[in-house]
Every structure is written in C-alpha cells, then in structure tokens.
Amino acid sequence: MSYEFLVGLRYTRSKRRAQGRNRFISFISLVSMLGIALGVAALIVVLSVMNGFQRELRTRILGVASHVQVSGFDGELSNWQRVADDAGKHPRVRFAAPFVQAQGMLSFDQTVRGTLIRGVLPDAEDKVADFAQHMRAGRLDDLRPGEFGIVLGADLARAMRVSMNDKVTLIAPQGLVTPAAILPRLKQFRVVGIFEVGMYEYDSSLALVHLQDAQTLYRMEDRVSGVRLKLDDLFEAPRVARELMKYLDADTLVSDWTRSHANFFRAVQIEKNVMFIILLLIVAVAAFNIVSTLVMAVQDKQADIAILRTLGASPGSIMGIFVIQGALIGFIGLGLGVLGGVSLALNIDVVVPAIERAFGIQFLAKDVYYISDLPSELLWSDVFAITGVSFVLTLVATLYPSWRASRLNPAEALRYE
C-alpha cells in the first residue's frame, strides 16, 4: 500500500477519542457520505420508476393498439385483403388484421355513454393485440357475425352497470333520413365479454364488436377503416412504417405506435431527463460538501503536511493524499447509495403498497393517471451512468483543496509549532 493511500485512509477514519475540530471534520465527512448516498439512491429509484412507466405504458398501449396501422386518406379501405397481402411482403411484418373504427353511444337502463366502437375479426385480432389475456369475463371468440355481440371495457361496464348477457343499445351517428327528420340508427347488442387492460383511456371508452356487424351498422359494406400490423420487433416500427410505402399504394396512410401515442412517451422521456438533472444536483451539492471537509482537514493538518514535505514528500503526493481522502468519502457514499437504491428499486412493488396501507393513501388514482400502480424497471446501464457521473463530481470536488494543500509552505506551517 502506498503511503499516500495509507495517510488518506487514516485521515478519513474518525477516532473514537477525537476532540474539537477533528470530531467536527469527521461529522462533516459523515454528512457528505450520507448526502451522496441519499442523492444516488434517489436517482436510481426515480429513473427505475420512469423506466417502469415507459415499459408499462408501452405494454398496455400495445395490448390494445398495433405496432403499425395502415388506413386510407378518407378513413376507409375498399380492398383490405390486398393491403394486408402487400404489407405482408415486408420481412418484418408477421400478422395483419382489418378493423372498423367509429364513434357511437351506448345506452342501458337510462344511462348513456359515448364510446369508441372497433369492429374486429377475433381470430386475426388475437394475433396483433393482447385482448385475450386481458379478458375478465367471456372470450373474444364469442363475437360472431350476425349475432351482434359486444365486448366492453371494465370501467365502461361498471359505469353503465352492465353485466354479462345484458343487452345494450348502440346508437350510431349515421342517421336514417326520413321526411320528418333524421333518425339515429339503433341496434341492440348483447354483452358477451368484458376486458381490462389496466389503462383507463381504453377501459372506460372502448367497445369491440364483430367486423361484419360494424360494417352493417355503419353502412360500410365490405370496406374497413384500416389494417393493423404486428411486427417481429416493436422498436423497428418507425423504420418499417417508412419502408412500407414501397409496398403499398400511394393513397394509404401508414402510422406506427411511436407516432400515434408520441405524446405519452415523449412526456415520460422528458420527465425522466428533467428528474435526472434535478436529482443530480442533490448529488452535486453533497459532493461539494467534500470541499468544505477537505478545506478544514487541510487547515487542521498543516503541521502534518509540513513534516511530510520536509521528509521528502512531493507536492503531487500531498495532493494525492487529500484526493484519496475525498475519493474515499465519495466511494463509501456511492456504495451505500447504490446498495440502497437498487434494493428499493427492486422491491418498490412491496414498499409502496405497504406505505399506502399504513397511511391510508393512494399515490396514483386510477381515474386520474393512465397507470394506477407504481412500476419499476432497474436498468444497470442507468446505475453505471449514475455511479460514474457521481464519482466524477466527487473527484472534481477534491481537486481545489488538494491543490491548496500541495502548495503549502513547510516553513510557514512550522513557524509557530
């Protein structure tokens, strides 16, 4: 062990019998360690929660939406099978499913709710979305042509007080023109299923019917609103959407999930970046507490520094002693922060419900936030980045006091000893 490291380690450790300024310096060192540990732990936990929000948002949106969607400029496609076949020529496209999408109103027992109606083919829809695993009652296969069955979101069903096999009235905005007035088109549908994807936007406003029933109700004959595509890699969706224009007619509109829901993902990413900067300032403040610690240590150890210089220690060695002292303070704080942050990030699904039960509160209300649970996804790349940046801040904070110590004149320091 080099003597610089040995002396720096000795200065870092606090003695039980330390008195006066020595004890105060040790206290400041402890505060600096705890500050760095708290800042690093907060950074790891917050970024893990942001990563969890991104993952949950992506999973729940893609459980209902599609990777890529092809539609007509006028909102209709006349030959969807040809569009699906042309899109299937792309090597990244795995499955395709047609859909009809329109607005409507559901009425049951004097309760009326506006809803988004989506006509689907159950077999094809299972291949591009994850409705099957989110069904709370019934099955998607229970949607059969001509039987006018409907599958409702869980929150929509609760709001209308609808249960399985109840009959609801669907009111289409396309009306019947009569000499007296324009009458809305009405049709009774039987509830054959209820789904819950965990995202309030869909659970409270989406209803599924069979494709042919939707075409009949909205007078679309054999036309559809568009074709939904599933890829082998969802992160390739933007590139595939651009490349699909080579395979499709010019009168089609292609969009991917990153564009159709860009506001959600952009908001989460911006929040993640802002929180990283804000919490990094906490680490910076704690790291620069090391400056005051080392300045006082240098003042307290002037005689020691002078003796080392007279014994032949170089200015670089003196500087290295105090850099090592500050680095050890930062390293211990980083270790505690990483350990605490990783432990909390991995167990946040246990800690947060326990806090909610203990205090009778709910952090994320389901009717306000898109995701009502507090998710967490620990990425080791974030942990390494946080550790690296924090350690660099710690080292930077040690440079000025260490440089001042190396410039100390031994004769001046020993004059009054």
Render each residue's pLDDT in the chain as its tens digit; 417 residues: 576 777 777 766 655 444 545 566 667 778 888 888 888 898 898 888 888 887 877 777 777 778 888 887 777 888 888 888 888 888 888 888 999 988 889 998 888 888 999 999 988 888 888 787 888 888 888 898 888 999 999 989 998 999 999 999 998 877 666 565 566 788 899 999 999 887 777 888 899 999 999 988 888 888 898 899 988 887 788 888 888 887 787 678 888 887 777 777 777 778 778 888 887 887 887 777 778 777 777 777 777 778 777 777 788 888 888 888 888 888 888 899 999 999 988 888 788 778 877 877 776 666 556 566 678 888 888 889 888 888 888 888 888 888 888 877 776 656 655
Q: Name every residue whose Cβ is closer than 8 Å to that of residue 11 and which is 6 or more positions away in sequence.
A: 297, 301, 321, 322, 325
Paired strand residues for 104: 115
Q: Helix, strand, or coil here: 371? A: coil
| Predicted local distance difference test score (pLDDT) of residue 207 | 92
Contact 398, 326 (CB under 8 A): yes
Which sign does the torsion angle of CA 408, 411, 413, 414 carry?
Answer: positive
| Predicted local distance difference test score (pLDDT) of residue 372 | 60
Q: What is the greatest pairwise CA distance in the chain? A: 113
Nearest CA among 123, 318, 302 for reference residue 210: 123
Question: How many CA atoms does the CB half-sphere of 371 hold within 13 Å?
Answer: 18
Backbone angles phi and psi of 309, in degrees to 5: -65, -40
Backbone angles phi and psi of 158, in degrees to 5: -70, -40
> DSSP secondary structure string, 190-247?
EEEEEE--S-HHHHTTEEEEEHHHHHHHTT-TT-BSEEEEEES-GGGHHHHHHHGGGT
Write down the domain spans for the chain: 3-60+264-414, 74-250
For residues 68 and 93, give the distance between their C-alpha atoms in angstroms, rounded to a whole number.
9
Q: Name every residue whose Cβ is closer than 8 Å to that of residue 6 and which is 6 or more positions away in sequence.
A: none
Residues counted in the chain: 417
| Predicted local distance difference test score (pLDDT) of residue 168 | 92
Q: Name every residue whose Cβ is closer than 8 Å to that of residue 403 and which is 6 or more positions away in sequence.
A: 319
